[in-house]
Amino acid sequence: MSVPPFSCRILSAAVALYLVGLLCVGAGDVAPKDGAAPKIPGCTNEYQMVKVKNWVDGENGEAFNGMTAQFGAILPSDLDKAVKLPVVLTTPLNSCTNLTSKLSGSIALSVRGECAFTAKAVAAQSGGAAALVIINDKEELDEMACTEQDTSLNLSIPVLIITTSSGDALKKSISQNKKVELLLYSPKSPVVDYAVAFLWLMSVGTVFIASVWSHCTGPKKNDEQYDELSPKKPSNDEDGAEDETLDISATGAIIFVISASTFLVLLFFFMSSWFIVILTIFFCIGGIQGMHNIITTLITMRCNTCGQKKVKVPMFGNVTILSLMVLLFCSVVAVIWFLNRKASYAWVGQNIFGICLMINVLQVARLPNIRVATILLCCAFVYDIFWVFVSPLIFKQSVMIAVARGSKDTGESIPMLLRFPRLSDPWGGFNMIGFGDILFPGLLICFIFRYDKENHKGTVRGYFPWLMFGYGLGLFLTYLGLWVMNGHGQPALLYLVPCTLGITVILGLVRGEVKDLWNYGTPHPSPSDVNPTPPA
C-alpha cells in the first residue's frame, strides 16, 4: 500500500500554515531594547545594560556586561563621557555596614547577600565611592529593584550588578595586589538597525519566488513524473497540479484566525520549554519537506534522467533514489540545526528552513479569489493589531511579543520567525519578522500572479508588479513606524494589508475588474440554467 503522491506535501503544508498563523509576529514586534524594563512604583530609573571595560596593571582586559539598578545615578551613553576609575574591595565584603576601606574617588566592589541592595548602595556612597559594583551569586544579571519604602533614598552614585565569573576575575586580580580599573558606560541601541534591509530582501524575495515558482518550474508535456516523496508532475495535463493544492475557504479563513488566537493565549499562559521544543520539531518537519521539494525540483529541471532510478520503500512504494538521498540530506541538516539551535549562528539554518517551508506552503495553500482574500487578510489585520496594541491593556503585556520571546529560563524560543543579527547594535540581538507577515500577504500575491497569468495580463496590465511594490512598501512603512514610535512594537499587517489588498481593490475599481476578482473561480450559471427551456 502506498501513500498518495501529494498527501505528505498537503499534510506538512497544512500543519506549517497553522503553526505560522499562531505567531504572525510583526516586523517590529520583537525589537525591544535590551535591558529595558517597566518602572516599579517608587523607582526612578529604568534598568540600563552596562558595558564594563577593565584594565589590570594598565593592560586592557576583555570587556563584559552589567546591569544597573532602578535607583542611583544614570551612566553616560557616550564612551567619551565615561571616566576610568580604580576598583577597591569593600570591607566588609558584603557592604552591609559602615565601610572601613578607603573608597574616595574609587569604584566599590561588593558581593551579593545579607542585606538589601539599597543598603549596600547607601553604605558605599557614605564611604565616598564613585560607584558600586555588586558581584552576583550566579551567571545572570538579576534585577535590582527598589520598593515604595525606598522613595526617600538620595543616591547619587551608579549601582550595577555583574556576573559571578566577571566578579571573581576582578577579585582575584585585586587580591594579587594588581591595579584594577573600570570604565562604565551604557551605549544606546539604535531604534532600527540597518540589518532590517536584509530582512526586507528575504521577505520580498520569498514572496516573489513563491509566486513565480510554479511558473518557472512547471512541468513540460514530456517530463517524467516525480515519485511519492517529491513534487509530482502531471503527465499531459494540469489537473495533477490542481490535486496538489488546498484552497482556503471563507469559513476556513475565519476559523483559522480564531483558533490561532485561542492557541496564542494558551501558549501565553502555559508556555513551557518542552512545548516550544514540540513546535520546533514541527518546524523542522515542515522545513525538511519544503527543502526536499525545492532541491528535487531544481535537480530534475537540470537533469531529467536523475529521477528515473527507483527503489521500493515500505509505506511509500517505489520512490526514486534521488528523492531518498535528498530526503536524507535534509533530515541530517535539520537534526544538526535542532541540536545547535541555541548557537549564535543558528539563525542561518532557521532562515533557510523557514524560507523553504513558506515557499512550500504558498505552493499548496491557495486563495481562490479576492472575496476569501479579503476575509482572511481583514481577520489577520484585526488579529495583529489586537495582540500587539490591545492585549497589553488586558494581560499587562503584549501576548504576541511574550510568546515570540519564548522561555527566558531555558533560552528556547519560537522558531517561526526570520531572524538577522542587529549589526549596528552594541548589545547584539536580532531583528525578526514573523512568518505570518510573509504568508498572509503572500497568499494574495500568489493568487494575483496566477490571475495575471491565466488572463494573459502581461507586465503592464497586470496586478502582480503593483502588489510586489505594495508589499515592499508595506514592510518599509512598518520599519518607519517602528522608528517613529521609538522602538515600540508595530504590527506589520497594519501596513501590509492596505498596501496589498488595498492596491488590488483600487486597481480593480479603476480597471472595472473588481467583480471578476471577487468571484474568480466561481462557476456562473449559464443562460439555460437561469431561464430553462420549457418542455415541449
- Burial per residue of 390-419, b for 16 or more beta-carbon CB atoms within 10 angstroms, e otherwise: ebbeeeeebbbbbbbbbeeeeebbbbbbbb
Q: Which cell is 309 given? A: 532510478
Q: What is the pLDDT of residue 232?
A: 46
SS3 call for 88? strand
Q: What is the pLDDT of residue 371?
A: 92
- Burial per residue of 434-469, b for 16 or more beta-carbon CB atoms within 10 angstroms, e otherwise: bbbbbbbbbbbbbbbbbbbbeeebeeeebbbeebbe
Inter-helix orientation angle 464-484/503-511, to 10°: 140
Sequence-separated (6 or more) residues with CB below 8 Å from residue 12: 285, 286, 289, 290, 360
Q: What is the pLDDT of residue 151?
A: 54
**Does 34 qualify as catalytic in the annotation?**
no
CB 76 within 8 A of CB 86: no
Q: What is the pLDDT of residue 460?
A: 83
Among the options 150, 193, 227, 384, which is catalytic? 384
CB 445 within 8 A of CB 500: yes
Strand duo 430-434 + 417-421: pairing: antiparallel
Domains of the chain, residue spans: 49-185, 191-218+247-519
pLDDT in tens, 200-230: 999 999 999 999 998 888 765 444 444 444 4
Rounded CA Rg of the chain: 29
**Cα separations in angstroms, 360 against 13, 22, 120, 231, 284:** 7, 18, 58, 10, 13
Cis bond before residue 38 (omega within 30° of 0): no
Q: How many residues are there in the chain?
A: 536
Q: What is the pLDDT of residue 430?
A: 84
Distance (Å, rounded) from C-alpha 332 to C-alpha 338? 10
Per-residue pLDDT band for 524 (boundaries 50, 70, 90) equals: low
pLDDT in tens, 117-154: 888 888 888 888 889 999 998 888 888 877 656 555 67
Q: Tell how many helices (H) and how many strands (E) occur in the chain.
A: 18, 14
Distance (Å, rounded) from C-alpha 162 to C-alpha 165? 9
Q: Which cell is 54 given? A: 577593565
Q: Which cell is 478 given? A: 512598518
Hey, which residues does 56 pair with through a beta bridge?
59, 180
Strand duo 107-111 + 131-135: pairing: parallel
Among the options 437, 452, 516, 529, which is catalytic? 437
Distance (Å, rounded) from C-alpha 232 to C-alpha 221? 13
Distance (Å, rounded) from C-alpha 110 to C-alpha 89? 6
| Ranges assigned E (strand) in 146-232 | 159-162, 180-185
Share of the chain above pLDDT 70, in %: 80
Q: What is the pLDDT of residue 312?
A: 76
**Cα separations in angstroms, 472 against 10, 278, 468, 499:** 29, 33, 6, 9
**Does 80 qualify as catalytic in the annotation?**
no
pLDDT in tens, 404-417: 666 666 667 788 88
DSSP state of 36: -
Q: Which CATH architecture has domain 49-185?
A: 3-Layer(bba) Sandwich (3.50)
Q: How much is the pTM? A: 0.79
Strand duo 84-89 + 107-111: pairing: parallel
pLDDT in tens, 31-75: 334 333 334 444 556 788 889 999 998 888 888 888 888 888 888
The helix (H) or strand (E) run that includes residue 165 is helix 164-175
Mean predicted lDDT score pLDDT of the chain: 80
Nearest to 46 by CA among 29, 68, 75: 68
Distance (Å, rounded) from C-alpha 471 to C-alpha 495? 9
Residue with cell 471563507: 250
